[in-house]
Amino acid sequence: MTVDRTHNPEIEQPRERVDLAAAYRLVAHYGLDDGIFTHISSRAPEDEGEHAFLINPFGLRFDEVTASNLVTVDLDGNILRDTYGAGINQAGFTIHSAIHAARPDTRCVLHTHTTAGVAVSSLEDGLQPYNQWSLQFYDRTAYHEYEGIALDLSERERLVADLGGLDVMVLRNHGLLTCGRSVGEAFALMNNLEHSCRAQLAIMASGGRVHPVSQEIAEKTALQYEGDDFGDRDTFDPEWEAFKRLALARYPDLAS
């Protein structure tokens, strides 16, 4: 049975805003945030602006983000709606506007600076196919070289060129990034990517020999992830609904 609290008449905010606010709270809940930095964005409701997207107001922690205080910005950086009044972080705009402009198939972009993610991004060999979580990303992970804090708009061209049509990117010496056709898909990818990095670091720290997975099995597993039995995640995603129920139960103010 579908449990979708964004359809509750007491919640007046659009689903896009509630889902994105829930993702911010979940990232904070699981300790994947970095103070007031890093970002999650999603395409804005159509009535808020053509080609516009939602992102967090600068200065708020992730646990302070609500559906109503998310900022609406267009691809040129014009603020279309900002109830908090602090604007947005320029580095966040650079990264997120680049992907939203280049990838119409992507509704949500999620970027983190976790210790595990930054550690793996700083390894020459990057993410390795050491475990079931990481096999989801086998031969499906993009890499983008570090160019400093993302304040230079010219970096956008190189960023989207490196991402191509993939949904997962390791930002070298920086962190992790995922894209999704929905907020739920981007969050699920990041959740598994984070687990992959933590497991890899634990394996490396053990000093033991890694038991290899063949290329044939690695590709088979990645295809199994792509063909999961959740059906059309665009219309119903049970994994995201479960996470969202947690967010709304623990942090009901997120829908305000």
Q: What is the pLDDT of residue 202?
A: 98
DSSP-H helix ranges across the chain: 15-29, 90-102, 115-121, 132-135, 155-163, 183-206, 215-226, 238-250
- Least trusted range by pLDDT, from 7-11, 88-92, 200-204, 252-256: 7-11
Run of H or E residues at 80:
strand 79-81
Q: What is the mean pLDDT of residues 151-171?
A: 96
Rounded Cα distance between 201 and 54, Å, is 33
Instruction: Say what the pLDDT of residue 2 is.
Output: 38
Q: Is 87 left (phi over 0), alpha (psi -120 to 50) or beta?
A: left
- CA 244-95-113 angle, to 5 degrees, is 60
Which carries the bigger pLDDT value, residue 28 or residue 10?
A: 28
Tell me the per-residue pLDDT of 45-70, one tens digit each, with 9 for 90 and over.
999 998 999 999 999 999 999 999 99
Confidence of residue 1 (pLDDT cuts 50, 70, 90): very low
Residue 242 above 90 pLDDT? yes
Q: Helix or strand or coil: residue 55?
A: strand
Helices 238-250 and 15-29, interaxial angle, to 10°? Answer: 70
- What does DSSP say about strands 108-112 and 53-55: parallel, antiparallel, or unpaired? unpaired
Say if strands 79-81 and 175-180 run parallel, antiparallel, or are unpaired.
unpaired
pLDDT at 232: 53
Q: Which CB contacts under 8 angstroms, 24+ apart, belong to 207-216?
A: 210/128, 210/130, 213/129, 213/130, 213/135
What pLDDT digit, counting tens, does each position of 19-51 carry? 999 999 999 999 999 999 999 999 999 999 989
Determine the distance from the C-alpha atom of residue 53 to the mean position of all C-alpha atoms in its chain, rounded to a whole number.
14
Q: Is the dihedral of CA 212, 215, 220, 223 positive or negative?
A: positive
**Whole-model pTM over 0.95:** no
Q: Where are the domains of the chain?
A: 5-255
Given a contact cutoff of 8 angstroms between Cβ atoms, the answer to whether 252 and 11 are in contact is: no
Tens digits of per-residue pLDDT, 98-145? Answer: 999 999 999 999 999 999 999 999 999 999 999 999 999 999 999 999
State residue 236's pLDDT score: 76
Task: Please give the residue that has the higher pLDDT: either 248 or 12.
Answer: 248
Answer positive or negative: Cα dihedral of 34, 38, 40, 46: positive
Please give the Cα distance from 199 to 108 (Å, whole number). 25
- Report whether 96 contacts 159 (CB < 8 A): no
* Tokens found for residue 91: 């580095």
- Mean of the per-residue pLDDT values of the chain: 93
CATH architecture, range 5-255? 3-Layer(aba) Sandwich (3.40)
User: What sign results for the dihedral spanned by CA atoms 186, 136, 223, 227?
Assistant: negative
Beta strands 142-144; 168-171: pairing state: parallel
Lowest model confidence (mean pLDDT) among 5-9, 88-92, 102-106, 109-113: 5-9
